[in-house]
């Protein structure tokens, strides 16, 4: 059995994150000692490692919940897991496409700058007038983790 601190170190996840995952039901409620300290079974460390790896790959919490539910049923076909991973791949590809547009726009903006004064700066001019951009990227990258 592991304390929350030992589990945190073993999984590379902060203690508040472990508590949060318990609160939202991704991790089971731990046993408690007589002094009310949390005690975790080794299986919880495996589950936490699963969650952390899925988060590292950008899966949203709801998809992780679905995947955990599937992993708790090892005898069923994996088509549902494949579909969830496919959704994540599509989301990653869409984000890459948006970031590519942003990169290209920034490169074009910089290439057109004469490096004179701010009064003549193409970067400032384009940022002040979205119509000078070649792509519509108004919402690209907003509200997404970097």
Nearest to 70 by CA among 57, 58, 85, 60: 85
Instruction: Judge whether 139 lies within some domain.
Output: no
Mean pLDDT for the stretch of residues 64-77: 95
**CATH number of the domain encompassing residue 54:** 1.10.1660.10
Look at the chain and report how many structural domains it folds into.
2
Note down the domain range covering 127: 79-132
CA pair distance 103, 99, nearest whole angstrom: 6
Number of Cα atoms under 13 Å in the Cβ half of residue 113 = 18
**Model confidence at 137: pLDDT above 80:** no
Q: Are 126 and 133 in contact (CB under 8 A)?
A: yes
Instruction: Judge whether 146 lies within some domain.
Output: no
pLDDT one-digit tens code per residue, 77-107: 999 999 999 999 999 999 999 999 999 998 9
């Amino acid at each position: 059995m592991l304390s929350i601190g030992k589990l945190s170190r073993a999984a590379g996840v902060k203690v508040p994150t472990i508590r949060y995952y318990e609160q939202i039901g991704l991790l089971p409620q731990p046993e408690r000692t007589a002094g009310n300290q949390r005690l975790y079974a080794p299986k919880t460390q495996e589950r936490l490692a699963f969650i952390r790896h899925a988060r590292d790959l950008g899966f949203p919490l709801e998809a992780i919940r679905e995947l955990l539910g599937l992993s708790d049923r090892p005898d069923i076909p994996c088509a549902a897991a494949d579909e969830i991973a496919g959704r994540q791949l599509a989301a990653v590809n869409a984000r890459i496409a948006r970031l590519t547009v942003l990169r290209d726009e920034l490169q074009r903006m910089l290439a057109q700058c004469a490096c004179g004064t701010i009064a003549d700066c193409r970067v400032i001019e384009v940022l002040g007038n979205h119509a000078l951009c070649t792509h519509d990227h108004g919402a690209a990258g907003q509200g997404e983790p970097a």
